[in-house]
Structure 1
Amino acid sequence: MMTRFWVAIAAALLLSPALAEAADVSGVPKIRDGDQVTIGSTRIRLRGIDAPSLDQLCLDPKGERWSCGVAAHDELVRHVGAKSWTCQVQRTDRFGRSVAHCEVDGEDIQKWLVHSGWALAYERYSHDYDPDEKVAREAKAGLWAGAFIAPWDWRVRNKNTTILGATKPPETARAILLASASGPVAPSPECTIKGNVNRSGQCIYHRPQSRWYAKIQMHVSKGTRWFCTVEEAEAAGCRETRR
C-alpha cells in the first residue's frame, strides 16, 4: 500500500507543472503594448506573434514618421481592451512572463492582430499565423500599409536591417526607422510620462506634475523614453521620482 501511495505522490508532482502551465487566466487586461498584457498580477506575452514596442517608429503610407507601436497598442485597446480575456498559459519565458494563447468571446486575439496587420507571425517560435500575415501583407493592412522594420529586428537594429511594407521609403527613411519614439516629442498625447536613467544607473519615471518633469530632456542617446502609464514604467523596471 505504501508503495502505491508514493507512486501516486510522485505522479502528482510530475504532473503539477504541466497542469500549472495549462491553467487559464481570465479577466479584463491592462494592455501594455501590442503583444503584452497584464491580467491581475500575471504578466502575459501573447504566443506566436511579435508586435512593435511602444517606442518603435514606422512610416505611414505617405512616408511620414509614424508611432506605429502606439498605434498597435491603441488598436488592440479599441478592439478588445474593455472585454474579459481568457488566456491559456503554456510556459514562462526568461523575463518571468506567462506565454499564453488568448481569446475574447471565442476570437483568437493573436490571429486578429496578425490578420489586421498590427503584429507579425513570430516564425522563430510558431508558424500558426503565417497565413494571416500573408493576408495582411497582400491587403496592405496596418503596418504593411507603410514601411517598417520587423519587431525582432528593430530590437537589435543596425544600418543593414531589412525594411518591410508597401511604401517605398525615401532616402531619409532608414534614419527614421532606426530611431526611437524616445525623442523630444511624446509619441502620443496619452504617453507623457518621462523615463530617464540617473547617475546610479536606476530608471526613474516622472509624471507631468513631478517637480523635475520640465527639466528632463528627452534624447535617445541619454537613455530616455516615454511611457503611457505608471504600470508600463514600473514594468520596465523604473521607479517614481522621489521629488
Structure 2
Amino acid sequence: MNRYSRSKTPNTWESAFGDEASERNEQLLKNVAVSLKFDEGDRYDDYERLLAYVYADGQSVQEILLSEGLARVAYVFPPNDRYVDAYKEAEAIARKNNLGVWEYKNYVTKRGFDETKVEEEKTEVNKHPSECLIKGNINRENKKIYHIPTGKYYDQTKPEKWFCSEQQALDAGFKKSGNK
C-alpha cells in the first residue's frame, strides 16, 4: 500500500495513512444506515467544511477511526466540542498501541503531520542489524504481524519494522504469523 499518494485535492499530497483512512471510512459507511448529528455551534467551519458527528449503524465513525490510528483529535473549538473527551480517549488507545499515525515517533505534531518522520524511520528499518531478522508488518486491517525466517511468507514480506527476538516483536504488540 502506498503511504504517499496524490490527494483528491488538486496540487496537494495525501499524508501517510490517508489511503487507509479513506478505505476504512468507506468500509464503515458502506451498506449501513448513516446518520449525522450536529453540535451547538456553526455547521460549517471557515473552509466551508460540514461539521458533523457521523454514525454508521449507531456507531461513531470518528471514534472508530481515532481508536484505529487513522485520525487524530485536532482543531476542536467550543461550542462544537461535545464529544472531545471521548475522542481523546479513543485516540489514546491508538497512541498506546502505536497504531496508524502513532506508529512513527514525532509524526503527529500540533500543526498536522511531519512526513519526514515516516521516511526517517523507514530508512532506519531498512538498515537492520544482521542479527535482527524477524520482520514485522501491519496489514490492511491494521493488525501487527511478525514473520520469522523459516515462515512461509517471510521472503515476500516487506518489513515495516525489524526485531531481534520474538519477545521483542510481542512486546511491540505484534503477533506471530500463523503460516509456517
Q: TM-score range by the shorter chain?
A: 0.3 to 0.5
Larger radius of gyration: 1
Structure with bigger RCO (C-alpha 8 Å, 6+ apart): 1
TM-score (norm: length of structure 2): 0.46
More strand by share: 1
